[in-house]
């Protein structure tokens, strides 16, 4: 019975450390606000599970072993529920790269369908990158956007794509205005999907198929290298 208790407790501990690693991009940067909430639920659960494991180990009782299993299952449920509430999924991603996505948005313009999303790669690391991923019917393509000047200090998760990014068409079928909302870092760009050229706009220029770029906004635009 003791071997069972030790084995189950060891697996639980390894799982708990792994969850903390997933939340912190394998301890390469600190926890986000959402990550802290999940980590807190895990730590509280551990304060229940580990004393129960010690008690079950000393008593050598099948009853207390069953209680330990129940405590572990309860802990998994609590942490999974907290993670779903904070990040929208039951469990964290095990990948070495931390990738956050806005989810896929669909824009129909001039009889064509454009699917796009914003992805943040390692937003809390110095190696961070931000990409506009788009698909015009064949395969995914990407354009790097200079959203974060430095390491991100935080952002709000997107429950729907428009909470992070909005694309607006222009008179040119290949050119779109990209609006990054305040939930990430309020910025505006003009991108050419064909040439992958990115122009940073100092303020929003509301574009539409029937309206050219505002001259003031054009004067305040700067190409991004």
DSSP secondary structure, 145-192, as one string: ----SSS----PPPSSGGGTEEEEE-SSTTEEEEEE-TTT--EEEEEE
Which is nearest to 102 in space by CA: 85, 117, 83?
A: 117
The pLDDT of residue 207: 47
Report the predicted TM-score, pTM, of the whole model to 2 decimal places.
0.53
CA dihedral 71, 74, 79, 81 (to 10 degrees): -170
Ordered per-residue pLDDT tens for the chain, 225 residues? 789 999 999 999 999 999 888 887 677 667 777 788 899 999 999 999 999 999 889 888 888 899 999 999 999 999 999 988 887 788 876 665 678 889 999 999 878 899 999 999 877 777 788 999 999 888 899 999 999 887 777 788 888 999 999 999 998 999 999 999 999 999 999 999 999 999 998 765 554 444 444 434 444 445 554
């Amino acid at each position: 019975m003791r071997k069972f208790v030790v084995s189950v407790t060891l697996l639980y501990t390894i799982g708990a450390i792994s969850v903390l690693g997933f939340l912190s991009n394998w301890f390469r940067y600190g926890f986000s606000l959402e990550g802290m909430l999940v980590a807190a639920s895990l730590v509280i659960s551990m304060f229940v599970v580990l004393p129960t494991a010690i008690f079950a180990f000393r008593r050598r009782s099948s009853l207390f072993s069953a209680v330990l299993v129940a405590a572990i299952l309860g802990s998994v449920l609590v942490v999974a529920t907290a993670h779903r509430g904070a990040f929208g999924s039951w469990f964290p991603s095990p990948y070495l790269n931390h990738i956050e996505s806005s989810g896929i948005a669909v824009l129909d313009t001039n009889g064509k369908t454009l699917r796009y999303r914003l992805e943040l790669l390692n937003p809390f690391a110095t190696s961070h990158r931000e990409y506009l991923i788009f698909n015009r019917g064949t395969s995914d393509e990407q354009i790097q956007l200079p959203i974060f000047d430095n390491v991100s200090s935080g952002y709000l998760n997107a429950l729907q794509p428009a909470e992070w990014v909005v694309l607006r068409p222009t008179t040119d079928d290949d050119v779109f205005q990209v609006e990054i909302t305040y939930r990430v870092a309020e910025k505006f760009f003009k991108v050419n999907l064909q040439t992958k050229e990115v122009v940073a706009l100092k303020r929003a220029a509301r574009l539409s198929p029937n309206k050219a770029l505002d001259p003031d906004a054009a004067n305040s635009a700067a190409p991004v290298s």
